[in-house]
Chains A and B, each alone.
Chain A
Amino acid sequence: MKLFKPQNNVLPGFGPTLGFTLFYLSLIVLIPLSALIFRTAGLTWGEFISTVTAPRVMASYRVTFGSAIIAALINVVFGVLVAWVLVRYRFFGRRIVDALVDLPFALPTAVTGITLATIYSSNGWVGRFLEPLGIKIAFTPLGIILAMTFIGLPFVVRTVQPVIEEIEVELEEAATCLGANRWQTLQLVIFPMLLPSILTGFALSFARGVGEYGSIIFIAGNMPMISEITPLMIITKLEQFDYQGATAIACVMLLSSFLILLVVNLLQRWSRRYAE
């Protein structure tokens, strides 16, 4: 395989577009990221390890990645449900519900955080009813999951929705004619077709959760070892003018996010193996 050699194509433009793509990606993504690593390189290996494995920082990884995974899982379940209802049923106000799904995209994250914290605090609209049941959401790790779920929902809905739209009714009819019940049709016919898009939605929702800062700090309570997220640790380091410490933690986040997204992408490719 020749890597950069285009096949003879009537439609021109391979050279300039590839050139521009590489230039643009370097400018916007690669150069800032390499600066990050470059900055971190000022630390010795021992200093680096002790910075990124400090107990408070370790706890923040658990909180961030753990919450992001749980939130993404919640979003997968309910996001698919929302997408399904929006595609398959016609009901009054469907367009409005459809538009509402995108709100978390548009809302400033600080507004999200303050709103959620207010509603779920012990005297808020929702929190008031949860308090007697012994459930505290605002200013606890649960609040972090809640915020991540909120901001990640549209990613799942918007990736799964078009795929559901494209499933022909004939496939379900064929399955029914062959004797499959509704559950079997869903499990054996529909779900495998949605799986690639579900994995993409999961990855996007997860990535968004890991990177989220603005809304979480308002609702998390930010207690060391319990509800501090990694981005907050980075900010804390920056406020103490510990730039190298901040970039060191950032590098760890970068690497782990990259690995997780890579795994999801490989899974997604596997789930589409029939398409060739």
Chain B
Amino acid sequence: MGIEIENISKHFGDFSALGNVSLTVPSGELVALLGPSGCGKTTLLRIIAGLETADSGRILFNGEDTTRSHVRERKVGFVFQHYALFRHMTVFDNVAFGLTVRPKSTRPSREEIRKKVTELLHLVQLENMANRYPSQLSGGQRQRIALARALAVEPQVLLLDEPFGALDAQVRAELRRWLRKLHDEIHVTSVFVTHDQEEALEVADRIVVMNRGKVEQVGTPDQVYEHPASPFVLNFLGNVNLFHGRISQGQAHLGGLQVDSKGYAGADDTPAVGYVRSHDIEIERDRQDDSSIKAVVRTILKLGPFVRISLAIEGNSEFIEAELTRDTYKHLNLQQGEQVYVRPRRVRVFVEDFQI
């Protein structure tokens, strides 16, 4: 059950929420819509569900145009950030809701409904909660019930709007691992919205990075992380450092750094920015060759498994940040105010025009 999104645009008054977005969600995949708040990802999800109508464009489910069909006919399962459970119903009745509201001709018998609900509660590992009310469950449990409720109608597509957004860090991590596992079992085409890059990288088969109502890049987690198509994607997925400079004849000069940039062979004395991820910066005491730059250690922050070090570089007004593993940090035994050399391992250069 694949989804085709063709040239979808949506305005709210003067604000353009989505500008001509096209996207394909292959059947059986778990796709993440990733972007900062206000980038249009939730709007896109709601348009797929039919809870919002697009100003123009088409939505196709399995090649069939569903743009005009009502939410009820689309057979989508929708999971809300704040669960949207019916609080006057027990867990059992919540999960059974989608089946009990069917017209008599297609409604399963009482016994069948009971069986189905029990199966689903087993799937979400909450079998013994059937007679509780939502107010008696924890946040993580509520979201799992919401998921079971959405799955009860055997949706063609599962849509999740920031499903873990309201949960605390530990439950969130646990639940997303669980969602990944669940998806591997049931293979329903799923789209979920998130602003958490870690969540997208961990859970999704494919990530759609969005910004300002546009799709910036579509790809597997590896692709978007290793080969970001734009500075925005690079910036959004992980911490990066900026080195400003100029590029000419395929060679970028970025404040003491020389980088080959074959991609911009035609550029002649064009402003450019080199991007380096924090964990791609090495620190050394003694200069080994001229590809490293002199820097001074400003602050040292120990953050669990790694250590973040701010360094001041001559001619660069902003500090750069390097992330070292604890072992490397201990080995180097860095001190505040010490002079060191930094060596960027991987520099990605984009000319200024491309900048956000």
Give the interface of A toward B (CB within 8 A). 168, 170-171, 173-181, 184, 188-189, 192-193, 274-276
Contacts and interface: CB of A to CB of B under 8 A. Distances in A.
B150 A177 contact: yes
A181 B133 contact: no
A179 B155 CA distance: 11
Nearest to A272: B88
Nearest to B100: A188
Interface residues of B, number: 26
Contacts of B135: 274-276
Given A275-B135, A276-B133, A178 B84 contact: no
A176 B50 CA distance: 10
A171 B84 contact: yes
Contacts of B51: 173, 176-177
B78 A179 contact: no
Contacts of B49: 177
B71 interface: yes
Contact of A193 (B88, B97, B101, B152): B88
18 contacts: A168-B82, A171-B84, A173-B51, A173-B78, A175-B97, A177-B49, A177-B78, A179-B72, A179-B101, A179-B102, A179-B153, A180-B72, A180-B101, A181-B72, A188-B86, A188-B97, A193-B87, A275-B135
Nearest to B70: A176
A177 B75 CA distance: 7
Interface in B299-340: none
B78 A189 contact: no
For B72, B97, B101, B102, the residue with the greatest tally of chain A CB atoms inside 10 Å of its CB is: B101
For A171, A181, A184, A193, the residue with the greatest tally of chain B CB atoms inside 10 Å of its CB is: A171
For A179, A180, A276, the residue with the greatest tally of chain B CB atoms inside 10 Å of its CB is: A179
B252 to A, nearest CB: 49
Contact of B86 (A179, A181, A189, A276): A189
A178 B79 CA distance: 11
Nearest to B146: A174
A274 B133 contact: yes
Nearest to A193: B88
A177 B101 contact: no
A193 B88 CA distance: 7
Contacts of B78: 173-174, 177
A184 B71 contact: no
Contacts of B101: 175, 178-181, 184, 188
A261 B181 CA distance: 54
Nearest to B135: A276
A185 to B, nearest CB: 9
Contact of B88 (A170, A176, A177, A274): A274
A177 B76 contact: yes
Nearest to B72: A179
Given A173-B78, A175-B86, A184-B101, 17 more contacts: A170-B82, A173-B71, A173-B80, A173-B84, A174-B84, A176-B51, A176-B72, A177-B51, A177-B72, A178-B150, A179-B98, A179-B102, A188-B101, A189-B86, A274-B89, A274-B133, A274-B135
